[in-house]
Amino acid sequence: MVRTALETINLNGSIEHTYLKANCTPEDIEVLCQEALTHQFYSVCIPPYFVFQARNILGSNSAVKICTVVGYPLGYNATGAKVEEIKRAIMDGVDELDVVVNISAIKAGDWNFVKNDIESTTMMAHLKGRKIKVVFESSELEADELKHLCEICKIVGVNYIVPNTGFSQMFSTPEQIQYIRSIIDPSIKIKAEGRFKTKLEAKQIIQAGANRIGTTTGIRLISSV
């Protein structure tokens, strides 16, 4: 029997099992890590405070990666502060860093600042062999701003872009991912954020051009039809 493109997608291996609520507890992290191990998710995405705990739970050679956020959720932290956040997360054992762009600087037209911000954080992550994902709220950007930002990401050499923080309750759609894939350099991957309800919905996002899915509903997704 010939398998369709959707059927060949490894959904479990594309999921970043996420918990970023303000009331997150050590017990929540324990559960999240165990679920990620059981279901062979790509990673857990957690607050910086819990990276050290997650590394102790998962161990140094775990197939499940640890991801954390930097400058979350609004991104207008000072560049130096973001770099220090990255250093600390790396010391604690993080594998990947989701760094939020300074949208305020974009709206001010200060593209030199934006480039320096992305360049500084990317350099620190890459210096230590970590992957970096540049996060922004695409709904807040005009088309020309989005294209300019994507061009900077190409020049700097980021690993991924994430066109939604999830914080504003705006989530990725196949149409959005397809459009961003059409304007971003092929070397840059895309992580989609969303509370997807079914396997089909999640796989359609991947088919549209996403490489990863950041979601709080991973267990429900893999259990759905």
What are the DSSP calls for the chain, one per residue? -PPPTTTT--SGGGEEEE---TT--HHHHHHHHHHHHHHT-SEEEE-GGGHHHHHHHH-TT-SSEEEEEESTTT--S-HHHHHHHHHHHHHHT-SEEEEE--HHHHHTT-HHHHHHHHHHHHHHHHHTT-EEEEE--GGGS-HHHHHHHHHHHHHHT-SEEES--STTS----HHHHHHHHHHS-TTSEEEEE----SHHHHHHHHHHT-SEEEES-HHHHHH--
Instruction: Please compute the mean of the pLDDT values over residues 129-148 and round it to a whole number.
Output: 96
The model's pLDDT over 12-48, given as tens digits with 9 standing for 90+, comes to: 999 999 999 999 999 999 999 999 999 999 999 999 9
Cα angle, residue 203 at apex, residues 194 and 20 outer, rounded to 5° = 25
pLDDT at 187 exceeding the cut of 80: yes
Residue 169 has pLDDT above 70, yes or no: no
Amino acid at 224: S
How much is the pTM? 0.94
Confidence of residue 2 (pLDDT cuts 50, 70, 90): very low
Longest CA pairwise span in the chain (Å): 56
Which pLDDT value is given to residue 6?
A: 74
CATH entry 3.20.20.70 includes domain 12-223: yes
Q: Could you state, in order of their start, the residue ranges of all structural domains in the chain? A: 12-223
